[in-house]
Structure 1
């Protein structure tokens, strides 16, 4: 009986902790956060935009400066 009570308390504590962490988030901010993995690759961002219809603010990757690429240590 004690194990069941502890399991229920653990689930309730986890739910309350997640709700507390996400209390200031809006649907828009959570939607933007779900698209972050695609923001650094413009080609993938275009494909995801075409597939989902959601706008992704893609950032082009920085170009390597002369002498800064392929360093051997």
Structure 2
């Protein structure tokens, strides 16, 4: 079983600013219903750019097992 990391978004911290969406190289994040969401988990390349760009601490990369 392979391990990779995907972004987990904290609804309490997310302001739906869209910064994470703008920097995602695979366009797997989106703002929907006033929250950032991981729309296509399979497109995520685990780069962590979204976590680093979020100024609100709303995104944390967490392990996912495939």
TM-score by length of structure 1 reads: 0.24
Greater share of residues in strand: 2
Structure of higher RCO (CA pairs closer than 8 Å, 6+ residues apart): 2
TM-score scaled by length of structure 2: 0.25
Which of the pair has more CA radius of gyration? 1
